[in-house]
Amino acid sequence: MNQSLLAQVLQIATGSALILFPLIFIFAFSVHPGLLRPRLLKPEDIIRRARRNKWLQMGHSLVLLCTALLIVAAMHFLNILSQGSAAWAGLIGAVLAVLGAIFLAADKGALCLTMSALDTLPEEKFSAMMPGLLAMFSKKGWMILLWGILLLPVGFAIQAVGLLQAGALPRWQSALFLIGVLLVATPDGMEIINLSASILMAIAMIPHGIQLIATAF
């Protein structure tokens, strides 16, 4: 594969990642139960609502796969900011966002895929495992590392500030992306806010992704 063709393929892949990741987030947050009844949830509430909820398990599984797309997005912003005055934001933001994406994958693997496996157990056996599940969802022991997921929105927020500073994207796109990545970190039970944030990210990123794909040909 020559360099020109490789660059074309990479640009199309990057554009596709920017289109897909906010759409996956929209789907994942839209299938949460109680979407129009926002409230802060306790660990036990989170466990119970995930019990035998196939749509929720599917959404979480897609978010697990989405972490690869998030890394592509972070590296893209690093690249377009690397030559300007906001290069610092591109680099620092990329490091934090990539680490956050890794912790997001760990979170979905440790908690969400685990819940899908426990769906195969009868209720009495599931209930007997509740103390262990509460320890997991309360992030006891080394599970505390899963709080590293917060690095993801922080990293993207730094990159969004860099995009605004450098004018690398239209200001409205950078501003919507900044608002979206900050709001998407809203805690469990407030998914209507997460969903709104994902829609803002989609409005900001999908046109940019389409532009990348269109200019690759």
DSSP string covering the chain: --HHHHHHHHHHHHHHHHHHHHHHHHHHHHTSTTTTS-----HHHHHHHHTT-HHHHHHHHHHHHHHHHHHHHHHHHHHHHTTSTTHHHHHHHHHHHHHHHHHHHHHIIIIIIHHHHHTTS-HHHHHHTHHHHHHHHTT-GGGGGGGGGGHHHHHHHHHHHHHHHHT-S-HHHHHHHHHHHHHTTPPTT-HHHHHHHHHHHHHHHHHHHHHHHHHT-
CA atoms within 13 A on the CB side of 3: 0
pLDDT one-digit tens code per residue, 88-108: 999 999 999 999 999 999 999
Q: How far apart are the first and last CA of the chain?
A: 16
Asked if 200 contacts 176 with a C-beta cutoff of 8 angstroms, the reply is yes
Largest Cα span, the chain = 60
Q: Tokens 């608002």, residue?
A: 179
Structure tokens at 193: 């806010």
Domain ranges of the chain: 3-41+54-104+151-215
pLDDT of amino acid 90? 96
pLDDT one-digit tens code per residue, 157-199: 999 999 999 999 999 999 999 999 999 999 999 999 999 999 9
Q: Is the pTM of this model over 0.85?
A: yes
Q: How far is CA 181 from CA 107, 110, 160, 217, in A?
A: 18, 23, 9, 30
User: Would you give per-residue pLDDT tens digits along the chain (217 residues)?
Assistant: 577 888 899 999 999 999 999 999 999 999 999 899 989 999 999 999 999 999 999 999 999 999 999 999 999 999 999 988 899 999 999 999 999 999 999 999 999 999 999 999 999 999 999 999 999 999 999 999 999 999 999 999 999 999 999 999 999 999 999 999 999 999 999 999 999 999 999 999 999 999 999 998 8
Asked if 155 contacts 94 with a C-beta cutoff of 8 angstroms, the reply is yes
